[in-house]
Amino acid sequence: MHPTEIESCLERMVVLTDSREHDTEKFHRRMDEFGLWERTTLYYGDYTAKTSRNDGSEISLVGKVHVERKSGLSEIIGNFCESALDSPYVQEWNKEHPTEKIRNRFEWELKRAQLAGAKMYLVIENASWEHIYGHRYESRMNEKAVIATILAYMARYNLTVLFINDRMTGHFIRDIFKYEMREELKKYE
């Protein structure tokens, strides 16, 4: 694809937002920062993107690149502590794969993305590794357990974990998709 068509496609890029994202003031700020966006049902992650070529054909990152956003350490640590054992899908998976047991719903989401071949980014707002090591979060979960869980998920599911101030989340997520989409568009003639 010619560089001018790539730039044109990037200008038309639409960030797809999961329909379960809560309708808050911060949500609307992120959507404004995205520019073009639309709600849809995503099977994993909170966001992905699509665009169209000059001829109108669609190019999508659905099933290829997704971003999961967490509002802070308390949310992601809470996800680590949520059992997924009530899910019949997880029960079946754990029965069939005893050496790859799924412990929580967040891990099940990562597993579904991995099985689909999707790249996942985890964006955690208003946090850092220093916050974790210093136990500057509201949970009794030991910081070593939090670190071990995050690093294990990064290794196991090829997860990229990024920390950011919530005032920049929308811009940052859009930039992730801009560069992921640019690389995707280079594959087209």
pLDDT tens for the chain, residues 1 to 189: 899 999 999 999 999 999 988 889 989 999 899 999 999 999 999 999 999 998 999 999 999 999 999 999 999 999 888 766 677 777 787 788 877 777 778 898 999 999 999 999 999 999 999 999 999 998 889 999 999 999 999 999 999 999 999 999 999 999 999 999 999 999 987
Give the three-class secondary structure for 127. Answer: coil
- Give the type of residue at 116: A
pLDDT, position 185: 95
Per the CB < 8 A criterion, the answer to whether 73 and 124 are in contact is yes
Q: What is the pTM of this model?
A: 0.90
Q: 120: how many CB neighbours lie within 10 A of its CB?
A: 22
Per the CB < 8 A criterion, the answer to whether 77 and 106 are in contact is no
- The torsion angles phi and psi of 181, rounded to 5 degrees, stand at -70, -40
Q: Which long-range contacts (CB under 8 A, 24 or more apart) does 23-28 make?
A: 26/71, 26/166, 26/169
Strand 119-125 to 14-18 pairing: unpaired
CA nearest to 111, candidates 80, 163, 153: 153
pLDDT, position 85: 67
pLDDT, position 81: 83
